Amino acid sequence: MPLSPAIESGDRSHAVTPVESVAQISTLLEDTDPTLDPALAEVARQAAADGLVLLHNDGTLPLAGRPVAVFGRVQIDWFAVGYGSGGDVKVPYVWNLLSGLRDAGVAVDAATAELYTAWCAAHRPAFEGTWGQWPHHFPEMPLDPAVAAAAAERADTAVVVIGRAAGEARESVRAPGSFHLTGDERAMLDAVTASFPHTVVVLDAGNVMDLSWIADYGDRIGAVLYAWQGGMEGGRAVAAVLAGEVSPSGKLTDTIAWSYEDYPSAANFGDPDANEYAEDIFVGYRWFETFAPERVQYPFGHGLGYTTFDVTVAETTVDEAGLRLAVDVRNTGAAHSGREVVQVYVAAPDGRLGQPARRLAAFAKTGELAPGAAERLELAVRLDDLASYDDSGATGHRSAWVLEAGHYRFLVGTDVRSAAPAAVVTIDELRVVRQVSEAAAPSPSAPFRRMTLARDEDGRAVVAWQDAPTATVARAERITAGLPAETPMTGDRGITLDAVAAGAASLDEFVAQLSAEELALLARGDVTMHSALGAAGNAGVLGGVSPSLRAKGVAPVTTTDGPSGIRLSAYASLLPSGTALASTWDTALVRRLTALHGEEMIRKGSDVLLSPGMNIHRDPLCGRNFEYFSEDPLLTGRMAAAVVTGVQSNGVAACPKHFAANNQETNRTRNDSRVSERALREIYLRGFEICVREAEPLALMTSYNQVNGVWSHYHHDLVTTILRQEWGYAGCVITDWWMEEAVDPDFPALADNAYRVRAQVDVLMPGGVKTEAGPGDYADDTILESLARPDGLTLGELQRSARNVLRLVLALKPVIDARSLEA
C-alpha cells in the first residue's frame, strides 16, 4: 500500500497512512490510540543517535551553543525512513530537524527558518501516488546567495541538510536528485560555504549516495554527518548530536567509494533479466581493501566522535578453538564522553581458494566513557567461523568448509583501514571444518566467469578470472531420496491443538486427523491482505484460516510488515531503518529496542513481524538497502540475531527476509541472481545462517527473485538442503507476497503450490493466486490436484509442512490465547 505524504503541522511533520476501504476491514483489535510507549520512543531515539556516522569534523561540531542558520528544505520535509512495506507505518508523529534543533535548545536563525517554513508550506512534496513511484528527493528551494550572506551576519555556522529517499520496487538511480546532487543543491552549498566560516552538512538518507563533491569544497565544509534515516525520533536524534547532548558513535556498515563505477557490482547490476555476481566473494570492502584501496573515500567501519580513544590489545589467548582478545579502550579526550567500537579483522592466507585482504571477524562496543575512563572489551573469534567454502575442489575437498594451512593474521582497530596487527594464528595443515553437499550451484545452461585473486611478480593482489563451477548433483534423485513418510490419516478423533500444547497428545496425532483439504489450507494464508481474521490492516493471516481448523484449536496468526514498524491500520511506532540500527554496532541496544517493539506487537495485534530485512548491500543503488544492514555478512547476521532475539523474547515471532540474494528491486519477481556457490554461502547466506543458528527465528520468508534459475519459493536446495538439513532449521517458511507460476522441471505432476510444498516452503502468503492482471483473491487447487496423482505431491510432504506451520501456531499460542481472553 502506498503511504500518503508527510503533512507539516507546526514544527513537526506527521506521517499518516490512510486505510483503504476501512468498512471492508475487520474492526477486530483495531486500535485508534495515537499514544506510543515512551520507553520505546526513548530507546528508538538513542538507537537513531548512536547510528549516526560523523564522517568528517574539523572541530565545528558540536555546536556548543553557537547560533546557526539552517539551509535546505529537508530540515522541515524530513525523510524519516524509506518507502514501501519497510516504512509505511501509521505513525502519530515524526520529528523533523528544525523542530529537533529547537527542542535541543539550539539558537536557530529565525529569519532563515521562517523563509524555509513558508517556502515548504507553499511547495508541498508531490507524491505520484503509485506504488513504486516514490520520490527520490524533494526539489530544493533556490537559494539567493544574498540570503546566505545576510544569515552569515547573524550566525557564523551553517547547517546544510540534503535528503534522499529510496524504497521498495524502485532503485536509486545515477542521476541528480538520487545518487548525485541536483544543481540547486550544489548552488546552495556554493552560496553557504562562500558566506559562512563554518559549514556542517547533514545527509538525511537511507542509502549510500555519491559524496565525491565533499572534496570539492575542501576546508569550507567543516563537518559531515551521515544521518541514516532514524524513524519518528530521527530528527531529535540528529539535533542532539549536533548540539553535543550526545556524542556520535556510529560506524559505516558500507564502503563509500569515490564513484559509482568503483563498486565491483557496477557492471552487473540492474539488468531486468539476470545479474551475474561476477565479483564473487569480493563484495564491498573485501574488494576495495584487496584490489582498489585508493578508490575508497570513507572506509567500512569508519566513524568519528567528539573525543579520542586509545585502543590497546591487553591480552591474547589462542587455543585450538580460536582466539580471545582483551582490548582496553580509554577515552583520552578532555572535554567529551563517548563510545567506541572495536573491530577485529582477519587476513587469511591466499591458499588455493583466494581470500580478501581483510574480513570482519568480531566487534564490540564500549559503554559511555567519560574523559579518562576506560573499559575492557572481550572479543572472541572461532577459527571454524573463518572457514571458506570450496565449490570447485581446488583444495581437494569439494563442497566442504575448509581452513587452509598458513598464517591467519588478526588486526584490531576502529575501521577496516586503520586496524593494526594484533595476533597471528598458524594452521599447519588444511582442516576440513564441515563436509556438506553441493547445493544451489549455478546452472550449466547459464555459465559465467567470476573474480578470484592472483599475485603479480611483486606480490601485489591482482584480479584473475575463472569459470564459476556449475551444478553436478542430480536434483531429482536428491529429492526422491528425502521424501518423508506419511502419517496414516485417522479422521477426526477430537484431538485439539490445546491438547498438544498441554502434552496430552502428540503433534503427529493431531496432524493424522487432518483431511487433505485442511492440510492444503494450512499451506496457504487467508487469500488476501487485510484478512478479517486478524488486526485491521494486516499483511495477511495464516494457520486457522478455515472454520474446521479453528474448531480444532488452530488459531489464526496475524502477520505484519515490517522492519521499521508495525504496518497496520492502528497507530504504531516508526523505528530507525535497518542501516541506522546496524550503524550502531550495538547488538545489546538493538535487542533492547526490539524487545520493546515486541511488546508493541502484542498491544497492536501482530503475531509475526516480517522483519528483519537482511539482504546484503551488494550495490549502493538497491532501493531497499535502507531496510537491510550492511555489505558484510557477519555484521548482518549479528544484527539480525539481535532483532529476532528481542522480538521473540515476548512470545511473538520475527520473520527474517528475503531468503536469498534479493539484491535489486528492478524486475524483482523475475530477475535471476546468478551467483557461485561459494559467494552464495559465504556472503549472501552467511548472515541468515548466523541468525538461524543463534536466534532460532520462528518464521522465515523467501525472496521474489530466482537464484541460479530457480525461484526461491521453489528452491529445494536452498530451503531443504541448506536451511533445514544443514542448519537444522525447524521453523515455518513462508513466501514473499504472492509467487510466480512454474512447473517442477523434474516432477511434472507438481506445479505452483505443490512445487512449493515439495521445497518445504510451507505457506503461500497472503494466500491468493497472482494473475496477469495482478494479485488475486482466490486460491488454486494445485496441491489437491497433485496429491491425487500417483507421481504428484505426497501426503507425507504436505503433513511435513503442516507440522512446520503448527509448530509456529503452538509457539504463539500463549500470546494469542491471552489476547482472546482480553477481547
Catalytic choice (717, 736, 752, 762): 736
Residue 326 C-alpha cell reads as 582483551
The verdict on whether omega for the bond into residue 562 sits within 30 degrees of 0, i.e. cis, is yes
What sign does the CA torsion over 590, 689, 381, 305 have?
A: negative
Q: Is 484 exposed, middle or buried (0-12, 13-18, 19+ CB in 10 A)?
A: middle
Are the CB atoms for 232 and 80 separated by under 8 Å?
Answer: yes
Are the CB atoms for 6 and 99 separated by under 8 Å?
Answer: no
Q: How many other C-beta atoms lie within 10 A of the C-beta of residue 778?
A: 10
Q: How many other C-beta atoms lie within 10 A of the C-beta of residue 426?
A: 11
- Which DSSP string do the residues of 3-48 spell out, in sequence order? PPPPEEETTEEE--PPPTTGGGS--TT--------HHHHHHHHHHH
Between the CA of residue 398 and those of 286, 355, 408, 427, what are the distances in Å? 23, 17, 22, 20
Say how far apart CA 149 and CA 658 lie, in whole Å.
50
Give the residue among 654, 645, 708, 705 at the shortest CA–CA distance from 681. Answer: 708
Helix (H, G, I), strand (E, B) or coil at 152: helix
Pairing of strands 322-331, 309-318: antiparallel
Residue 152 C-alpha cell reads as 552569515
SS (H, E, C) 416-433: CCCCEEEEEEEECCCEEE
Pairing of strands 706-707, 710-711: antiparallel
Say how far apart CA 659 and CA 734 lie, in whole Å.
10
SS (H, E, C) 669-718: CCCEEECCHHHHHHHHCHHHHHHHHHHCCCEEEECCCEECCEEHHHCHHH
> Terminal CA-to-CA distance of the chain, rounded, Å?
28
Residues 6+ away with beta carbon under 8 Å from 579: 51, 206, 207, 228, 229, 253, 254, 617, 625, 626, 627, 628, 629, 630
Query: Is 736 annotated in the active site?
Result: yes
Say how far apart CA 191 and CA 759 lie, in whole Å.
60
Exposed e or buried b per residue across 50-72, where buried means at least 16 C-beta atoms within 10 angstroms of its C-beta: bbbbbbbbeebbbbeeeebbbbb
Helices (H), 274-405: 285-291
Are the CB atoms for 16 and 34 separated by under 8 Å?
Answer: no
Most distant CA atoms of the chain, gap in Å = 86
What sign does the CA torsion over 467, 468, 473, 474 have?
A: negative
Say how far apart CA 526 and CA 524 lie, in whole Å.
7
The helix or strand, by DSSP H or E, that contains position 54, with its residue range, turns out to be strand 53-57
The residues annotated as belonging to the active site are: 736
